[in-house]
Amino acid sequence: MSTLIEHYDDRIAGCLDCLDRVMIAGTLPSVCHAQGMTQFLYSKNIRIFDYTSFVEPLRDAIRDNAERMAAKHGLDIEFVAKKHIRKEELAQKMLAKRGDHPGLVCILSAMESCTAFKPWHDKRTHETFLKTTTGKCLHYYFYFIDEQFGLCHLRVPTWSPFRLQFYFNGHSWLAKQLDRKGIGYDLHDNAFVDIDDWNKAQRLADAFNVKKLHRTLDRYTQ
């Protein structure tokens, strides 16, 4: 996660229009591609065709952790079986019941497409390695309220290479900054239709602290 965030510094800050819905992807750079994972397995003396048995305990650990978090917060993990159901709407319904105080809101799960690797033996070169493929695996959506960034979610796949996605709404963040500064505004849905002081709002957007976002992502990923 931390490696990818550096590429988003200039994209996130500096523009009221751009500081909107932000999705950041993160992964483990050394094993997020087939060649890297192949090299990792060889370095650990793990047979390429034992890849699935190597990954399955990691999948189970993610599932167990999600269930522990749900139990700790008195939540049920809700499985979303139909594509037309919007997960954010489910989270908003939960927010209406619990309030918007910081903390975990809900945990959703869904079977969705993901990048995956498959073992392969090349009969021509006699080399054995992993190839990139696509598949489906269970994904968890952890929706939570962050004090700085408002409603966020972390999308966690249960299959290697475990590519994470983090989402937050930059307008929610800006609204919190305007509240702290006592600057009035009119926010309809996700659009600022009026702000008492646009110049000050722009300066707040310019001052968006990507390093603070970086630390927040590290914490939630952990």
DSSP 32: S
Report the range of poorest mean pLDDT among 141-145, 175-179, 191-195, 208-212: 208-212
pLDDT at 127: 97
Whether residue 147 contacts residue 133, with contact meaning beta carbons closer than 8 Å, is answered with no
Rounded Cα distance, 62 and 46, in Å: 21
Q: For 25, phi and psi rounded to 5 degrees?
A: -100, 145
Rounded Cα distance, 80 and 128, in Å: 38
User: 143: how many CB neighbours lie within 10 A of its CB?
Assistant: 21
Nearest by Cα to 2 from 24, 33, 26: 26
Q: Does the pLDDT value for residue 18 go beyond 70?
A: no
Rounded Cα distance, 1 and 26, in Å: 4
Q: For 212, phi and psi rounded to 5 degrees?
A: -65, -40
pLDDT at 12: 47
Name, of 13-22, 52-61, 172-181, 197-206, the range with top average pLDDT.
52-61
Q: Does the pLDDT value for residue 106 go beyond 70?
A: yes
Average pLDDT over residues 168-178: 88
Mean pLDDT of the chain: 88
Q: Does the pLDDT value for residue 60 go beyond 50?
A: yes
Q: Does the pLDDT value for residue 213 go beyond 80?
A: yes
Q: Does the pLDDT value for residue 1 go beyond 70?
A: no
In the chain, % of residues over pLDDT 90: 66
pLDDT at 6: 37
pLDDT at 8: 39
Q: Does the pLDDT value for residue 79 go beyond 90?
A: yes
User: 107: how many CB neighbours lie within 10 A of its CB?
Assistant: 22
Region of 84 (left: φ > 0; alpha: ψ -120 to 50; beta: rest) is alpha
Q: Does the pLDDT value for residue 17 go beyond 60?
A: no
Average pLDDT over residues 189-214: 88
Domain boundaries, the chain: 1-24+170-222, 28-162
Q: Which two tokens stand for residue 86?
A: 């919007």
